[in-house]
């Protein structure tokens, strides 16, 4: 139901960055990561969305042409304490993300109908799209602590606070927001001498998303929550590991594709083994 001379995707991506680590001694370490990425994306395609119940398919097109630049910087410092029966590592850090996205987008444009039983391609399609410009700044502060005791118990606890600020527009609609979010994670594991390790884990996630849907509504930040419990087994005489886990994952404002292959946001619940 498409148009062979019209349907295409052209994607060019460039990334560069560095990793820096310094050991101060006495258990103190500093790390810094930086990454730059640039993306040029052109995506256009014709799709069928209905018919007259006889021969003609009603069609439309989706179109997106734009580019984005993303700078990501992560700084963290850690301290290791060791005793006769314990080991504790505390890590604190701050990361920063700055991104800009520019282009044009149209989630539903007009395309002449097509005879499904005798298709004649080469329809005259006039491309149009709403201009968009979105700038995102995100700062995250986080802390993570891992405690090992008696060579068997492993406890992880962490907290992260994000501040995300977006400014810009899609068409004439203002897409600005300013949100704060705190997320937590914790996990506990017991390691038997035989290589068997049962564990439980709880984690939360938060991620701002640039862009908007076909109705020019800005994407809201993604939020997730997961509970997991399982077993890991590392045999002594085998270079490998077996794992079995049950998890329950709930996602809010996750990106999913609708019938016209345009991404919209929705809630997702996943459970499984």
User: CA 79 → CA 7, 222, 252, distances in Å?
Assistant: 54, 32, 35
Is it the case that residue 176 has pLDDT exceeding 70? yes
Average pLDDT for 119-132: 90
* CA gap 59, 45 in Å, rounded: 10
Is it the case that residue 187 has pLDDT exceeding 60? yes
DSSP state of 218: B
* CA gap 73, 94 in Å, rounded: 8
Cα four-point dihedral sign 195, 198, 200, 206? positive
Average pLDDT for 185-213: 90
Task: List, in order of start, the domains of the chain with CATH numbers.
Answer: 13-35+72-102+133-272 (2.40.170.20)
* CA gap 196, 241 in Å, rounded: 10
Does residue 225 contact residue 243 with C-beta atoms inside 8 Å?
Answer: no
What does the pLDDT read at residue 260?
54
What does the pLDDT read at residue 261?
56
Is it the case that residue 116 has pLDDT exceeding 80? yes
Indicate the pLDDT class of residue 265, thresholds 50, 70 and 90. confident
What does the pLDDT read at residue 158?
98
Alpha helices in 64-215 (DSSP H): none
Indicate the pLDDT class of residue 38, thresholds 50, 70 and 90. very high
What does the pLDDT read at residue 233?
94
What does the pLDDT read at residue 256?
80
Question: Residue 244 CA to chain centroid, in angstroms?
Answer: 25
What does the pLDDT read at residue 152?
94
Average pLDDT for 2-28: 95
Length of the chain: 273
* CA gap 65, 105 in Å, rounded: 7
CB atoms within 10 A of CB 179: 14
DSSP state of 26: T
pLDDT digits (tens, 9 = 90+) for 127-170: 998 898 889 999 999 999 999 999 899 999 999 999 999 888 87
Tell me which residue of 47, 51, 49 sits closest to 61, measured CA to CA: 47
pLDDT digits (tens, 9 = 90+) for 206-234: 988 766 666 667 778 889 999 999 999 99
Query: Tokens 């139901």 correspond to what residue?
Result: 1
Q: In the predicted model, what is the mean pLDDT of the chain?
A: 91
pLDDT digits (tens, 9 = 90+) for 49-80: 999 999 999 999 999 999 999 999 999 999 99
CB atoms within 10 A of CB 24: 10
* CA gap 45, 121 in Å, rounded: 14
């Amino acid at each position: 139901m498409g148009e062979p001379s019209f349907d295409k995707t052209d994607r060019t991506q460039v990334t560069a960055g560095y990793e820096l680590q310094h050991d101060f001694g006495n258990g103190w370490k500093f790390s810094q990561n930086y990454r730059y990425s640039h993306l040029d994306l052109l995506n256009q395609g014709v799709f069928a969305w209905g018919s007259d119940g006889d021969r003609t398919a009603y069609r439309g097109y989706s179109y997106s042409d734009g580019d984005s630049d993303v700078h990501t910087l992560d700084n963290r410092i850690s301290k290791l304490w060791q005793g006769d029966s314990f080991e504790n590592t505390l890590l604190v850090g701050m990361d920063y993300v700055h991104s800009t996205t520019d282009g044009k987008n149209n989630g539903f444009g007009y395309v002449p109908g097509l005879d499904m039983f005798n298709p004649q391609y080469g329809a005259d399609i006039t491309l149009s799209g709403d201009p968009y410009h979105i700038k995102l700044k995100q700062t995250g502060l986080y802390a993570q602590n891992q405690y090992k005791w008696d060579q068997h118990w492993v406890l992880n606890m962490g907290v992260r606070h994000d501040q995300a600020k977006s400014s810009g527009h899609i068409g004439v609609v203002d897409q600005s927001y300013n949100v704060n979010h705190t997320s937590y994670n914790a996990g506990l594991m017991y390691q038997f001498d035989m290589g068997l390790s049962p564990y439980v884990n709880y984690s939360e996630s938060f991620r701002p998303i640039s862009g908007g849907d076909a109705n020019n509504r800005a994407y809201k930040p993604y939020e997730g929550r997961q509970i997991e419990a399982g077993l890991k087994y590392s045999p002594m005489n085998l270079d490998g590991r077996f794992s079995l886990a049950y998890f329950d994952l709930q996602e809010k404002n996750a990106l999913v594709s609708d019938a016209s292959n345009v991404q919209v946001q929705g809630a997702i619940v996943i459970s499984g083994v």
